[in-house]
Structure 1
Amino acid sequence: MVYTYRLAALLVLLFATVGFSSAMMDEQPFRPSSISLNYSLSVTKNNISLNYSLSVKKDNISLNIVWYGKFKPIQRSVIVDFIRSINYSETAAKGPSVASWWKTTEKNKGSASTIVVGKQHILEDYPLGKSLKSPHLKALSGKLNGGGVGSITAVLTAKDVAVEGFCMNRCGTHGSKSSSLDGGAYVWVGNSEEQCPGYCTWPFHQPLYGPRSPPLIAPNGDVGVDGMIINLATLLVNAVNGDQEPASFCVDRFGSGAYPGYAGRVLVDKTTGASYNALGLAGRKYLLPAVWDPQAAECRTLV
């Protein structure tokens, strides 16, 4: 996985002088049931772009899922279990958990959000074809009625679906489902197992460029899906913190000591050899990205 670190450095500099300063100067109280349509700086692979995004600021968020293309039942189960694990705090007693990772978001937005799995819609017959453009993603996000304020719809595309910009400058994106403030937000993530595993699934595949260190073993045995979870996790954090994009400051960091080309010191399953840093429900393990901690002024990893 390759990022343009000179652009990333510029991003940090810009936000250090503008974004974070503005956030600290804004003394308006946080309103847990509000949403706002605003500009956000979205960091994608080898690309930094300014675009509109919807900042969802609500205590209870319903996450709907549109499955576009063919996903195996076990693949859907791994992703759904990740979402359900966000609120499953019981695993915290056994070690670093998905729930404790998500809790870091409250340091950025002033209040923790509870995410629950909402409606699911399976489109295995590719009604819009296997080559999608950005307007198609927004259209797909509107397939499920309901939600509105405080809702997010995740559009997940299968490994044989090409999406505009996919593998070229992005592995996913997030934005508003409509121009209406009560339309909710959407995120899109594609399965890159066959199209660009070295671009969107690192560190589970050797990167296209840079250090050629051995890839890590995916915790759920599926490079494409485990890579999707990394990107979905990043986008969910950014979607609920749209004016700050806290996960975009910490790309490619999964454990302590991480640096470009090295994911950091993470946990390893003694039986399978798989790498992970978070426990979920049903005994699942996940590798999740670091999140910016404004109090410590650093990227916070679970291990």
Structure 2
Amino acid sequence: MAFLFLLLLLLSISASSLSSLLAASPSFQTLQTNTHFFNPKLPPNSLSSSKKFEGSSDFVNLRYHMGPVLSSSPINIYLIWYGKWSVSQKLLIKDFLLSISPSHPRRAPPSPSVSQWWQTVSLYTDQTGANVSRNVVIAGEHSDIHHSHGTDLTRLSIQNVIATAVRSAPFPVDHRNGMFLVLTSQDVTMQDFCRAVCGFHYFTFPSMVGYTLPYAWVGHSGKQCPEQCAYPFAVPAYMAGGGPSALSPPNKDVALDGMISVIGHELAEVASNPLVNAWYAGEDPTAPTEIGDLCEGLYGTGGGGGYIGQVMRDGEGRTFNVNGRNRRKFLLQWLWSPVLKACAGPNALD
């Protein structure tokens, strides 16, 4: 559920054959500029206990617990901008969200694309066999620029933020298709933010919001902890000299590009486990290991053992693995495929 900073705790289980690490880098062409594949090595992983496993079904017991998935189409996202956000920041995030839905072939971004990345999420079904919807729309927005509940939030008080937005917008009671996405600005602190989470998802309580709907929260890490929540576009100071430098973000914004990867992680888990009773591994629903958690740190073929995997770098040195609308590029972590029983992404080379 939570996008924990466990990128440094990657296990030495490769997501694909290590021979791909030794292969010559193939060329790749997008509509924007020449690109090429490369496989940046991250600093050595620390040996520590972790509930995260990657690349092998031998260690994963992802099960369906009979709850709903977001199968009604489209998935209506109700965006809550908490704090001050610039127009350009909002446009970047909304371009990512709107890139999830398939486009008309003539307007579709080049492959690999965000909508192809979401195809892995759409493989998950409920007990009726209905798949997670492939269509996502922004159904409403609310801006809380004056921090109506302060700048120091908790996991519980985030529901007060949602309740205020529901009363102010007002957002409809959208039980079939709706979910809230709360994004907090860089001056807002959150319980466990940076220390343990970069984002999380849950569902609203009727006693606080008036009804039950899934929601996700993601924080802006620009001033507080980019080396944790915008990794690998920022790296901790103690790594200096011990490995490669931070990767160049695809949209030239370390914090926002890192944040988008977290948003993708959380949305995938909301869609496949909206009420925390659908798809997850482990026996504790209060601390489930979900389809994003299983693939933290993996962005391409050859990932694992300290590698993020084969990704792409354009002529300006910016790193990405999927294309979006309006000629955007993004770096999104892979997700666990219920068909392949492994982490998967549209930029896979094998």
**TM-score of the pair, normalised by structure 1:** 0.81
Contact 2:78 2:181 survives alignment (8 Å): yes
Describe the shift of the 1:88–1:131 C-alpha distance in structure 2 as closer, same or farther (beyond 3 A). Answer: same
Does residue 1:137 correspond to 2:153, yes or no?
no
**Equivalent in the alignment of 2:342:** 298
Alignment of 1:217-228 (within 5 A): 217-228=248-259
Give the paired residue count: 273
2:313 and 2:114 mapped to 1: Cα distance? 16
What does residue 228 of structure 2 align with? 199
Q: Counterpart of 2:268? A: 237
What is the DSSP-based 3-state SS (H/G/I as helix, E as strand, rest coil) of the residue aligned with 2:88? helix
CA contact (8 A) 1:105 1:237 kept: yes
Task: Letter of the 1:102 partner, please give it.
Answer: W
Does residue 82 (structure 1) correspond to residue 96 (structure 2)? The answer is yes
Which stretch of structure 1 is more off in the superposition, 217-226 or 207-216? 207-216
**Corresponding residue to 1:8 among 33, 39, 50:** 50
Residue 107 in 1 paired to residue 123 in 2?
yes
Distance 1:169 1:9, change over 3 A: closer
> What amino acid is aligned across from residue 324 of structure 2 in structure 1?
G
| Matched letter for residue 78 of structure 2 | N
Per-residue deviation, 1:11: 6.4
> Whole-Å Cα distance in 2 between the matches of residues 223 and 299 of structure 1?
25
Amino acid at match of 1:248: D
Question: Cα distance, 1:125 vs. partner?
Answer: 1.3
Task: Tell me whether 1:121 sits opposite 2:152 in the alignment.
Answer: no
Provide the secondary structure at the position in 2 that maps to 1:121.
strand
1: CA distance, partners of 2:152 / 2:304: 35
Does the 8 A contact of 2:235 with 2:246 survive in 1? yes
Residue identity opposite 1:111 in structure 2: N
Matched-pair contact (CA < 8 Å) for 1:138–1:186:
no
Question: Secondary structure in 2 aligned to 1:134?
Answer: coil
Q: Alignment partner of 1:76: what SS?
A: helix
Asked if the contact 1:149–1:183 (Cα under 8 Å) also holds between the matched residues in 2, the reply is no
Any conservation in 2 of the 1:149–1:184 contact (CA below 8 Å)? no
Q: Please say if residues 103 and 112 of structure 1, whose CA atoms lie closer than 8 Å, have aligned partners that are also in contact.
A: no
> Letter of the aligned partner of 2:268 in structure 1?
V
Question: Does 2:200 match 1:173?
Answer: yes
Counterpart in the other structure of 2:27: none
Shift of 1:232: 0.5
Identify the range of structure 1 (172-181 vs 197-206) with the bigger mean alpha-carbon deviation. Answer: 172-181
**What is residue 32 of structure 1 aligned with on the other side?**
none
CA root-mean-square deviation: 2.7
Task: Give the superposition deviation at 1:9.
Answer: 4.8
Q: TM-score, normalised by structure 2?
A: 0.71
Which protein is richer in strand relative to its size? Answer: 1
Residue 252 in structure 1 maps to residue 294 in structure 2: no
| Secondary structure of the corresponding residue to residue 170 of structure 1 | coil
- The question of whether the paired residues in 2 share the 8 Å contact of 1:177 and 1:186 is answered with yes
Largest Rg, 1 or 2: 2
CA displacement at 1:10 relative to structure 2: 6.6
> d(CA) in 2 for partners of 1:259 and 1:19?
19
| 2:187 is the counterpart of 1:160 | yes
Greater RCO (Cα-Cα under 8 Å, separation 6 or more): 2
Residues 1:294 and 1:8: Cα distance change in structure 2 (over 3 Å): farther
Render the CA deviation track for 1:84-126: whole Å, top value 9, x for unaligned.
Answer: 1111434656220001001111223351412111111111111
Q: Any conservation in 2 of the 1:96–1:279 contact (CA below 8 Å)?
A: yes
Give the whole-Å Cα distance in 2 for the aligned partners of 1:279 and 1:10: 27
